[in-house]
Chains A and B, each alone.
Chain A
């Protein structure tokens, strides 16, 4: 049975909550648990509210939930915002110094939520009132007097009061760890690893942890949950999709990556830069060139230039960046240059919500750039998929000589997932066929016409070969030619790739279909909705409602034949998407001539949770579903 434990850690940005949440997640994995985390934050450096959810269980959880079993609060806003989201029987860890804080003094609390909280306010406007009403709802309270504990720590520490105060964030986290039964030794070791360059801080950190554990034990609240364990020898990675995409690129032999800083894509390039030299199996090293350019236009055009010269090349960006890259994307389509664009979607349009998730770039990714040219658009569903997809995108780009857009989103960038170390042998490394130097009379023809739309490439700088490349309409020789027959032949040849791709790719590279007996509906989604769909599906199953799952990986060219086959059983189709309009529905109507029967959308910038999705699906199963249903949650 799924007994996943959900923890939420909230506080002001920059106060150390990311660090302690990361330590807690790492310690949980180290101790034998599997985790999935989610981070919500503002486009702000310090002060505004952010929180991290950690779902913990024996198997890696698919999605986090709206409700939590444990709330670790580092400020009053966290208590006001999330206390209604603590499950009955759950626990709130708080500093009693916050009890007198009042709702109207919360400078960063947004007006709509403030109004909502005022209306439903418990006995009064203070934290103390909210705690009383929470207690009445059956929620346990664990008061952690942080300033007292810091005072005690300061007495025995040689460090300054200011340095001692910096372990404040650790106290509440360690208290939570004690509550869930995380072995204290594991926490020590995790902190030791993180502080390996700051040995002088270790005694203080150890005492803070010890003190928090003791405090929880004294209250009789320790070891309240059966901590899950897996085989001790079993190694795990704990990483986000920016990490796994970066690793996938290195596994694929990335040579050049260009980028311009943009949330939430930058972490991927930063990861590549921090890895630096890459060791090969034969013991030699190589260093991919990770280059920060002056803007996204320079990023994609420099990437295209590198790809022309034969490098395995990618660039990484988010919404506004892809908008700027659109013209050059067409250039790579027209010149048939293999290029990978990792696109991390965020809330749009324009600046939109840079740190919130969204899938509203689907149709843009498929259509970005003027005119018509072939491209591949694929989407990854979770952190693990993102690694293998990232490897595979380079193969697609080289195999078909075209730009490949790899769709990811903010949710995947701020979700850490514990996974087994990757198996890079699962994906073969493929390179374009090149024109043969030995057969070169004088000049290479980079665009010779053939039956499948993919001609051998000529690399700029390839010895014995020289040629022209232009995104003006050209002849097979690469010479400018606007002759009607030439235009038709070249256009047809380029667009032939779309058919080749659909013929060529196996079904499991197009979609994931999980049929169920007596299914009353088909849940259709793509990208990061995967986790919530899997969770909701399980919750439906527990209530005796069977549903098929259809998760799309290949979005352009659209695998109409296979999707049609999956939908042949006639079960009503429910499309699920983090967007306003449910763009996959429009895509289906365009490519299949039929859309979804229901769309469930969420465009608050927050991801779907399994339980909220399951609730909406049960309404549909009960015949009470609307054609378009919007999931809302004021507290996220």
Chain B
């Protein structure tokens, strides 16, 4: 019998997303992944950016933190630095991650902290009523745009690959079970995992609709979205792989992430088990600095907020060449 059920990851907050928003599928998949992993809700933190997707933290029964536009990754990274055993998931929209937050999206890969980043791709800035997101093609014009998009499309997966994410996947918001499986794998991956989720915005994106994603425009009856797992493709870099082998896999991956239009691959694009996870001081398994935990334990049991103790630090060990002995 499972200790945690789906109810443990639900939130009493009233959801104000539009009916049939793709966000619902992602939320459900996220909660499903938590059930599958049997993670204690108090040891999960879901961080959200700004926008419709940024509200996801309100709708999960874990810790939920609503941050700033574009900054979800550094907020999430900070929590992971402080508490390496915490399960940290960052979510944000395509405008959040590829527009205002692009610098963080790229540089977070360099740290390779053990986080999961889910990028909700619906092609528009929904909450501000449908302006083009960086994922919209030049020339595309969705419902509320006064003219076609002047700027071109950023490819989230290509960017993640170039930046050095060690786990890269794409899911579809209405393929909930598959997406839950991907999220589960992403959380289990020891390093920074990136999932792009294709999702309709039923209110503002009248181009990339559920019908569009689920259609067979190629004319041969083949679906637009196809599963990488059912193809020849494999993108796993094993620990200890040679540079040549690793680069060959990345090159294949790059070719794969360029596919778009009639046929769009979904599933796992890259799994890099060779790049080390950031340690930043204390190894993750040691948990927080003991003095910090000690202080927290003390504070919990003290009614006075001025809990006080003396400094635990031996300053003499820190002085180094700053200290001058008298001659």
Interface residues of A (CB under 8 A from B): 26, 29-32, 183, 185-186, 189, 193, 230-239, 243, 247, 250-253, 255-256, 258, 274-275, 278-282, 284, 286-291, 293-295, 297-299, 301-313, 327-328, 331, 391, 399, 418, 421-422, 424-425, 427-434, 436-437, 454, 456, 459-472, 479-480
Contacts and interface: CB of A to CB of B under 8 A. Distances in A.
Interface in B276-327: 280-282, 288-292, 295-296, 298-300, 302-327
B280 A291 contact: yes
Contacts, number: 280
Nearest to A286: B289
B76 interface: yes
B322 to A, nearest CB: 5
A384 to B, nearest CB: 13
A459 B296 contact: yes
A30 B74 contact: no
18 contacts: A252-B311, A252-B313, A281-B314, A286-B282, A297-B74, A305-B78, A309-B86, A313-B78, A331-B68, A391-B311, A421-B315, A421-B323, A425-B310, A461-B86, A464-B42, A466-B41, A468-B13, A468-B65
Given A289-B281, A429-B295, A480-B58, A302 B308 contact: no
Given A280-B314, A466-B41, A307 B281 contact: no
Contacts of A470: 57-58, 65-66
Nearest to B42: A466
B291 A280 contact: yes
Contacts of A464: 42
A159 to B, nearest CB: 25
B326 A331 contact: no
Given A302-B74, A433-B299, A433-B304, A468 B313 contact: no
B162 to A, nearest CB: 15
A602 B219 CA distance: 76
A230 B288 CA distance: 44
Interface residues of B, number: 75
A230 B76 contact: no
B63 interface: yes
Contact of B313 (A250, A291, A428): A250
Given A256-B82, A461-B86, 20 more contacts: A26-B324, A30-B324, A185-B327, A230-B326, A247-B319, A252-B313, A253-B295, A274-B320, A288-B281, A290-B281, A294-B103, A298-B73, A305-B81, A311-B83, A425-B311, A429-B310, A461-B45, A466-B41, A466-B44, A466-B63
B327 A238 contact: no
Contacts of B282: 286-287, 289
Contacts of A428: 308-310
Contacts of B320: 274-275
Contacts of A275: 318, 320
B86 A278 contact: no
A204 to B, nearest CB: 22
A328 B104 CA distance: 15
Contact of A432 (B77, B291, B299, B322): B299
B327 A309 contact: no
A393 B73 CA distance: 27
B74 A186 contact: no
Per DSSP, chain A at the interface is mixed
A310 B297 CA distance: 11
Contact of A327 (B68, B80, B300, B302): B68
A572 B83 CA distance: 54
B47 to A, nearest CB: 7
Contacts of A258: 78
By Cβ-Cβ distance, the 8 closest A-B pairs, closest first, are: A305-B78, A294-B107, A279-B317, A302-B78, A311-B82, A428-B308, A309-B82, A470-B66
A431 B296 contact: yes
Given A251-B315, A253-B312, A421-B319, A235 B326 contact: yes
Contact of A460 (B65, B304, B325): B65
B82 A251 contact: no
A255 B288 contact: yes
A306 B107 contact: no
B149 interface: no
A238 B100 CA distance: 44
Contact of B295 (A186, A431, A460): A431
